[in-house]
Structure 1
């Protein structure tokens, strides 16, 4: 337990240092842009003078750069906010938190299902290496992997939404409807969300399949597997009892990184299906030059990714005894 505590504290300090660097870069980069990130607001003649003064005061643009940096850090660590959204005139943290549940539900559900399916198909492909299933699955998954996400989403939307009518054409829920019970609300959201979830599942299964297959094939040549085979274990028992746990470590790492990245990386999927999540929010922030909102998304998704990766690193030692807490 002391070793685990020391390992955990050391990882937290390392991740906090990384996060502090990210915070610093998000403060500096907009101010290094030609004219500054706020120039089109401050120097834009169409912006009313009163609103211009509000922006200058809100972002501390009338203060020295070092003082702006201190205010930026103090504001984030005390309130979790980094300023006001240009386009929505609301705190950035509030705007992100309103959109985050939609993306989290879409991403986590899809990636967990993808990981489970990819693990099972990857195990069977490795067990039947070189067989018909292995060859066919690799060909199919490589074809899927080459598909652009937005193209696949549009194809599924046309088929299941337009022609078959099995899914709504846009949105995460029916606008203007008052639900009489939470169950009806859940069913309406599920009706809107199942198709974008299916799209993301189809796109992400190949990565987990190939990763699991190759991990198992690589481990089957290790010394501990050779010893277990010499003791009379069948290939099936070797796969389930000896190889599965260490082979799942890369899957955990990939899953943690994918969840953190996909929070803002599902931009195209959310735009195709008009899901009001963080990905669509990031697209709108770029289009509207809403730098505080865009940088807030970077900060929050970076924090989520760092937290997930740290948790996975601690779980490594619990899953595979060969991994030491160093």
Structure 2
């Protein structure tokens, strides 16, 4: 089902090359990737579910690691000469598979200037900021005194750089755009904890219809972003055993809900330009006997009827 006759015409991907920092990447307020290792990263991730028509904003929150202070996650954060990050945006047309690639960020830290600088080349090639369907704003914004939310500890000290770009492609509006603005306080933490509890109980009870009630709006939106045929098109593209949500057949079983009872230990991150809330570490997990498994990373929004609903999965 298409909105007002519009349709998505391409897949978008973010190509990430980075070294020297922990980081999280947000597109239009949605976390699209995070890495809690400072080693070299070279990956590509799909972006359509976080894209907007016309103007888009990308932010990278990063913590350059210059050492450790004892524990595994006791990172020392500060300027680092070997830090760099190159992010490129790739568009692949549904119609003919034609590809376009532009640079969103190409930065490093200049120790002499004591600031983040933009570089004109990457791996010996000049960077490009425009293509037929995409135009990138070359000017970036750099900020200090940021926080990097992570699954292991309290948020790390961090910096951020932001980039903006425009695309000619159409994308559907986010399902949470008209929801309530959120503020982290005791009431929100209590309500968010209960939202996680309700979602967990739905899975634990193998209540497929209840689970579909939580996820269907998001899945219809996702299907439209990916050019699929509505909810059934999306369900056909994933592996979901509606008869056994607790044990999906891969050797894992739903683990106990891992959510702090004390609000001081309940770390909430606000996303989606103030309208989505999530917590780290992710409390819903399916695990094998050795502890390995998969997790359900969700963000909730609060609708006009004060109901908490799933607005994003990442």
Above 0.5 in TM-score? Answer: no
Q: TM-score, normalised by structure 1?
A: 0.20
Q: TM-score, normalised by structure 2?
A: 0.21
Greater radius of gyration (CA): 1
More strand by share: 2
